[in-house]
Chain A
Amino acid sequence: MPHIGNDIIALNCTENIRSFRSEKFLGKIFCKTELNQIYSSGDTLLAYKLWTCKESAYKIAIKKGCRTAFSPALFKVEKSKGADADVTRFTVTYKNIISFSKVFSLSEIIYCVASDNINTVDNIHAGIYQTAGHSSEAMYQTMINEYSRHFSVRPTGFSIKKDATAGIPVLFNLKTGNSYEVSFSHDLNYYMYSFLKKTS
């Protein structure tokens, strides 16, 4: 079973703007090679893009049994060859875990979906919403509803529990106890969920 991860970052968040302008901050989260790419690239959003790749890869690492906290500089991100319109692809290596990412840029956000299986990364559904004051529970319910709609199952059969290390939510079936591959991310005014699409 492939694992997936995602991340969303709000470009209009004051704290993010301040942090990502700080050389100290960037020096703490990126290795020298990544910093060189960031400073030499004409892409002013590259630092945000690399960060979302690292966060997404960490969620995959947790699902694969990693029990350590997130140390972003240990996740090495490389741009993959080839280009799609409006999408940048990256490969992330952390210890013996490799994940494959697709990063999308919109006017107010950057978001990433990733998988540890290169064939799966194009089969991830992503839903993006504005938080509009919603509680975590309400945001999770949106994910459950969308998941249920996609798979034509009843939403009442599902619930969310969080892993003990990083609080990463897991969707599970209340009756069978089986868990399903989803990912959830939240930053300022936006949240996103992802799950593997139905395969025919």
Chain B
Amino acid sequence: MEDIKKTIAEVLDKYIFDKKVWENAPENPKVIADLKINSARIIDIVLDLEEKFDIEIDDESLEKINTLNDIVNIIKSKQGR
């Protein structure tokens, strides 16, 4: 797993109540449906990611967060990569 994805997965994991969801999750899990993270915790995750990567995730970007790869893409675009 590439570093950025690993870091995001670690942040997500902080907010996952039942760690077993990782076992059945697809390669690109849906944050709500597969990882069982609720909307309020997604905001906590976004705040953590903003701090970790020193970026700002705006409201329009938040609308694009469905999967782990969506988060990777948003962070990369905010970093100008």
Contact = CB atoms under 8 A, between A and B. Distances in A.
A67 to B, nearest CB: 9
Given A24-B47, A72-B39, A165 B66 contact: yes
B33 A162 contact: yes
Interface in A144-200: 162, 165-167, 187
B59 interface: yes
Residue among B15, B43, B44 with most chain A CB within 10 A: B43
16 contacts: A19-B40, A19-B43, A19-B44, A24-B47, A25-B44, A28-B47, A29-B43, A68-B63, A68-B64, A70-B42, A71-B60, A73-B62, A74-B60, A166-B32, A167-B30, A187-B38
Interface of A is mostly: helix
Interface size grouping (class) on chain B:
20 to 34
A71 B63 contact: yes
B8 interface: no
Interface of B is mostly: helix
A29 B42 CA distance: 11
A70 B39 contact: yes
Interface string B37-81: 011111110110000000000011011111000100000000000
Contacts of A55: 39
B66 A69 contact: yes
A162 B36 CA distance: 13
Residue among A16, A70, A73, A166 with most chain B CB within 10 A: A70
Contacts, number: 52
Interface size grouping (class) on chain A:
20 to 34
A90 interface: no
B70 to A, nearest CB: 8
A43 B71 CA distance: 35
Interface in A69-105: 69-74
A108 interface: no
A73 B39 CA distance: 12
A167 B32 contact: yes
B56 to A, nearest CB: 10
A71 to B, nearest CB: 4
